[in-house]
Chain A
Amino acid sequence: MVPAISNFSGKETLLRTYVLGLIANRLGSSALTLLIVSFAVFFATAMLPGDTATILLGQAATPEAVAGLRAAMHLDEPALLRFGRWLFGLLQGDLGISYVNNVPVADLIGARFVNTMRLAGIVTLFAVPLSLTLGITAAMFRGSVYDRVVTVLTIGIISVPEFMIATSAVLLFSVYLKWLPALSFANDVTSFWQVLRIYAMPVITLTFVVSAQMIRMTRAAVIDTINTPYVEAAILKGASRWRAVLLHALPNAVGPIANAIALALSYLVGGVIIVETIFNYPGVAKLMVDGVSTRDLPLIQSCAIIFCVGYLTLITFADIVAILANPRVR
């Protein structure tokens, strides 16, 4: 990708090729994983007990009608061929037709995808600075009362289900303090203030879920760097704790921290499923949960693939950052 510049020494070009090779390897392995994942998603849903055509038409349908629909939906073809057809459609952006309301799945998902991404974006905006501040300061004052409080709180949040954080937020902010509306997601949004009130609860919940992971990983990454001899040397030389951490340790912890951020953000995938359901937020996850109760398979498959792609992208990104951040290969 990067053209070799003539004044690079041979060793650097070699390293660069090596790193690019590592990254290409990682990307290839992600692509293979995605193929296996889509295979798993397709076959989990294709193994339906009972025939999809019968389910759609109801028990009273004539055998001819069922056979007709089966042929029209290609259900009489071997599963592997259907998988190929489905995958090929996905690659072209054809997500299939919803069983329940006969609308292209892409139309159903479109606007909701933007909503989910917006929610995820806002959460990232809050969670990253918060977690970095808490994680780095906790690592700096390791063993202090402050560090212990942060550690216990993050372990507590990680140990409880996401819905408990959501219900606790509702109890605190709308039942006792009465600052925010409870579980309703109003559709008549007119002012910026209302938007703020609507997003507040989902964002607070998700920020808690994601930050707890991010703080833990950031703290661990910074502690690893602080424990190195050169930071010790900086402290022995007389540098203050702030100086030793911010100027000496942090530059080398950037890679691991970025890795921690991407990994922690992958917890958004599980979080939004709960949060969108409990707060009735019109996003992809809510659409998928509704699809599960109506057994709308094309919709479920598409949503599952979207989430898997999102999750894999974050994990892969984290790994690539880790490769790039490794000073031995940089």
Chain B
Amino acid sequence: MTTSTTLHRRVSYRFSWVGMIGFTIILFWAVIALLAPHIIPYPVGEIIDEDYFGPISSKLLLGSDYLGRDMFSRIIMGARYTVGISLAAVCLACFSGAALGMAAAVIGGWFDTLLSRLLDALNSIPSKLSGLVVAAAVGSSLPVLILMLAVIYTPGAYRFARSLAVNINTMDYITVARTRGEGIPYVVFSEILPNITGPLLADFGIRFVFVVLLLSGLSFLGLGVQPPYADWGALVHENIGGLPFGAPAVIVPSLAIASLTISVNLLIDNLPKKIRDRSR
């Protein structure tokens, strides 16, 4: 997605320091999401401050929300939903997209044409719109959210994987494998996949950012993660009333989202050249 030219790149597996910063922040949020229940100082549902939209203090590290609940605890628990749902969805999307894309490239013919046409059409529905339509029709429970996000981002993953696989598919060793009588699963997973893993991983990261942004956007509209659970977008939605006071309850969740998405972008942009060069 982003091809910044601001940083010098070395042709090796060494990371630049900007990439390392991105990686560290991602790791930080991953650890927080995993250990969340052990870190939080107060239960997320408990009202502990008489004041709503309380300021940052030594007792409440990030102030209190619109009901007087501890924001610090809620953001830490929110990491679980934002990171967890997005990760599950992007894994599903990239796995199905890549599998279908490689299969389409290898099989070709009407299978390829039909699938490409259909998925391209689905791709031309703006993502937020699909989210709204599904939320209206089926509601937004966590499994529905994950599945919906996965379906929305499968066409993009498909198109990307297919375009890479089509190039590999013309190589001699593929012809050799086919002449040998290997089946399609073997060609896809043993001949094509190992040659496009790097770019697919970079694409995975970019798509993860898209998923986080869409999930946060939907939650912000009140149509994503529903109470009593709250991801970072839902936290902004709940506390939007604190905006005129500049309450930390509405600013900090946004910053959390930004730190995660910007870090992933930084990491992808500064991936070692050996991993990403084939993806451009």
Among residues 208 to 238 in chain B, which have CB atoms less than 8 Å away from a CB atom of chain A?
A: 209, 213, 216-217, 220-223, 233, 236
- A164–B240 Cα distance when bound, in Å, is 11
Q: A161-B233, A308-B129 are in contact. Are A274 and B217 (CB under 8 A)?
A: yes
Q: How large is the interface on B (under 10, 10 to 19, 20 to 34, 35 or more residues)?
A: 35 or more
Contacts of B233 in A (CB 8 A): 161, 163
- Output the nearest chain B residue to A148 by Cβ-Cβ distance: B6
- A148–B6 Cα distance when bound, in Å, is 6
Contacts of A36 in B (CB 8 A): 117-118, 121-122
Contacts of A46 in B (CB 8 A): 137
- A289–B237 Cα distance when bound, in Å, is 14
Q: Say yes or no: B257 contacts A161, CB within 8 Å.
A: yes
Q: Please encode chain B, from 5 to 37, with 1 for each CB lying within 8 Å of some chain A CB and 0 for all others.
A: 110000000000000000000000000000000
Q: A161-B216, A292-B135, A300-B136 are in contact. Are A270 and B128 (CB under 8 A)?
A: yes
Q: Say yes or no: B265 contacts A155, CB within 8 Å.
A: yes
Contacts of B127 in A (CB 8 A): 270
A201: shortest Cβ distance to chain B, in Å? 12
- A174–B258 Cα distance when bound, in Å, is 22
- A266–B125 Cα distance when bound, in Å, is 11
- A292–B126 Cα distance when bound, in Å, is 16
Which of B5, B126, B209 is in CB contact (< 8 Å) with A143? B5
Q: Say yes or no: B136 contacts A161, CB within 8 Å.
A: no
> Can you list 22 A-B pairs with a CB-CB distance of less than 8 A?
A32-B117, A36-B117, A40-B125, A45-B133, A45-B136, A159-B258, A160-B254, A161-B213, A161-B216, A163-B254, A175-B245, A175-B246, A270-B126, A270-B127, A278-B240, A292-B132, A293-B222, A295-B136, A300-B133, A307-B126, A308-B124, A308-B129
- A218–B196 Cα distance when bound, in Å, is 29
A47 within 8 A of B: yes
Which of B221, B245, B269 is in CB contact (< 8 Å) with A274? B221
Which of B2, B129, B133, B134 is in CB contact (< 8 Å) with A155? B2
A36: shortest Cβ distance to chain B, in Å? 4
B243 within 8 A of A: yes
Among residues 121 to 149 in chain A, which have CB atoms less than 8 Å away from a CB atom of chain B?
A: 142-143, 148
A208 within 8 A of B: no
Contacts of B134 in A (CB 8 A): 44
Contacts of B133 in A (CB 8 A): 41, 44-45, 300-301, 304
Among residues 14 to 71 in chain A, which have CB atoms less than 8 Å away from a CB atom of chain B?
A: 32-33, 36-37, 40-41, 44-49
Number of A-B contacts (CB under 8 A): 157
9 interchain residue pairs of minimum CB distance: A36-B121, A292-B136, A164-B254, A160-B258, A33-B121, A269-B126, A159-B261, A270-B128, A163-B220
A214: shortest Cβ distance to chain B, in Å? 15
Contacts of B124 in A (CB 8 A): 33, 37, 308, 311-312, 315
Q: Say yes or no: A48 contacts B137, CB within 8 Å.
A: yes
Contacts of B183 in A (CB 8 A): none
Q: Say yes or no: B4 contacts A151, CB within 8 Å.
A: yes
Contacts of A256 in B (CB 8 A): none
B230: shortest Cβ distance to chain A, in Å? 15
Q: A48-B137, A160-B262, A292-B223 are in contact. Are A33 and B120 (CB under 8 A)?
A: yes
Q: Say yes or no: B220 contacts A32, CB within 8 Å.
A: no
Contacts of A288 in B (CB 8 A): 132
Q: A167-B254, A308-B126 are in contact. Are A155 and B132 (CB under 8 A)?
A: no
B109 within 8 A of A: no
B267: shortest Cβ distance to chain A, in Å? 12
Which of B129, B216, B240, B244 is in CB contact (< 8 Å) with A304? B129
A260: shortest Cβ distance to chain B, in Å? 15
- A170–B243 Cα distance when bound, in Å, is 8
Q: Say yes or no: A164 contacts B138, CB within 8 Å.
A: no
B91 within 8 A of A: no
Contacts of B251 in A (CB 8 A): 167, 171
B243: shortest Cβ distance to chain A, in Å? 6
- Output the nearest chain B residue to A176 by Cβ-Cβ distance: B246
Q: A47-B138, A152-B6, A160-B261 are in contact. Are A174 and B254 (CB under 8 A)?
A: no
A182 within 8 A of B: yes
- A158–B128 Cα distance when bound, in Å, is 15
Contacts of A311 in B (CB 8 A): 124-126, 129
Contacts of B83 in A (CB 8 A): none
- A179–B134 Cα distance when bound, in Å, is 39
Among residues 94 to 133 in chain B, which have CB atoms less than 8 Å away from a CB atom of chain A?
A: 117-118, 120-122, 124-130, 132-133
Contacts of A159 in B (CB 8 A): 209, 258, 261-262, 265
Q: Say yes or no: B236 contacts A163, CB within 8 Å.
A: yes
In this complex, which of B137, B213, B222, B262 has the most chain A Cβ atoms within 10 angstroms of its Cβ? Answer: B137
Among residues 272 to 287 in chain A, which have CB atoms less than 8 Å away from a CB atom of chain B?
A: 273-274, 277-278
Q: Say yes or no: A45 contacts B120, CB within 8 Å.
A: no
Among residues 292 to 330 in chain A, which have CB atoms less than 8 Å away from a CB atom of chain B?
A: 292-293, 295, 297, 300-301, 304, 307-308, 311-312, 315
Contacts of A216 in B (CB 8 A): 2
- A152–B118 Cα distance when bound, in Å, is 36
Q: Say yes or no: A175 contacts B244, CB within 8 Å.
A: yes
- Output the nearest chain B residue to A292 by Cβ-Cβ distance: B136
- A288–B136 Cα distance when bound, in Å, is 10
